Amino acid sequence: MVKINGKEIAQKILTGLQSQPVPKKFLAVFLVGNDPGSVSFIEQKEKIARELGVDFRSYHYEENITNDDLRERMRKIVLAKRCGGAILQLPLPNNLNPFYAVNVVPPQKDIEIMSERTIGSFYHGRSLVLPPTAAVIDEILKSLNLKRNSFEQVAVLGQGFLVGRPVTNWFLEEVSEVCSLSEGCSLDYLKSVDLVVLGTGRTGLVKASMLKKGVGVIDFGYGISEKTGRMSGDFDADSLAETGEDHLSFYTPTPGGTGPILVASLFKSFYKLNATDY
């Protein structure tokens, strides 16, 4: 079994970027409120930006900001000629609509593939970059010398717009059978698939015994486990003690799995979208 080292894969991505010219334009990141997880993710992005020499600018707004005000403030920043990319840090407070805000980001600056125009381009195979979660899986498979069509059956658990929807669409291009499962569905189907992608945010939801032998697991879920009090993903890695580690072909741990790769992939997309402006 291979325990994916996300930090190692992320470092390879960043090392590759360090050999390229640094984009002249700045990367804008927008944060609303003070969610600890969001603040931590922005700090990670800022740290990498410093290492690469990228002009990183974060904009912090109070939780009581209105949809119209957030959209207008973002619009003024992202439409500036000196802005080369934008990230709206999620989750937003419940009173805000992320799509209403992010739709002001021009396609050539939408490194997260979140606006309606860039999502449409991705679904029709015309996007210059992949959605971050699809990019993460692509990097993981490359590290294992695998391709999308290496799997006959793929299950994507969770149907959110960050993980479930883009990942399902990406696999549909080359995999014969892709099943998108909502959180309330029976998980018996997982016994028949070759790859499981998790993105529900329900810690410890999937046990090793629920999967067939030789399966791969890519886990985007994260949260504090009620059982252990530690950061955990949707996959209960402790359950491998019951089946044996050789039950899986590979899996991503939480933390240290998909997270570091996702952040590095955002910068890779930023570089790619600004490659003509060096």
> For 43-88, how does the pLDDT look when each residue is reduced to its tens digit (9 = 90+)?
999 999 999 999 999 999 999 999 999 999 999 999 999 999 999 9
213: how many CB neighbours lie within 10 A of its CB? 12
Class of domain 22-108: alpha beta
Which CA distances in Å does 20 have to 9, 80, 266, 268, 276?
A: 18, 24, 15, 11, 12
Judge contact between 23 and 270, C-beta under 8 A.
yes
Provide the β-strand partners of residue 238: none
CA 81 to chain centre: 27
Q: What's the burial of 39, exposed, middle or buried (CB within 10 Å: 0-12/13-18/19+)? A: middle
Residues of the chain with CATH 3.40.50.720: 132-258
193: how many CB neighbours lie within 10 A of its CB? 21
Reply yes or no on domain 132-258 having CATH 3.40.50.720.
Answer: yes
What CA dihedral angle connects 175, 252, 58 and 99, to 10 degrees?
40
What CA dihedral angle connects 231, 233, 238 and 244, to 10 degrees?
-150
Residues of the chain with pLDDT under 70: 277-278
CA 141 to chain centre: 15
Provide the β-strand partners of residue 223: 232
3 state DSSP class of 177: strand
| Mean of all residue pLDDT scores within the chain | 95
- The pLDDT assigned to 60 comes to 97
- The pLDDT assigned to 277 comes to 61
Residues of the chain with CATH 3.40.50.10860: 22-108
The encoded tokens of residue 185 equal 């569905």
pLDDT in tens, 156-175: 999 999 999 999 999 999 99
With a CB cutoff of 8 Å and minimum separation 6, the contacts of 109 are 78, 83, 84, 85, 86, 273
- The pLDDT assigned to 199 comes to 95
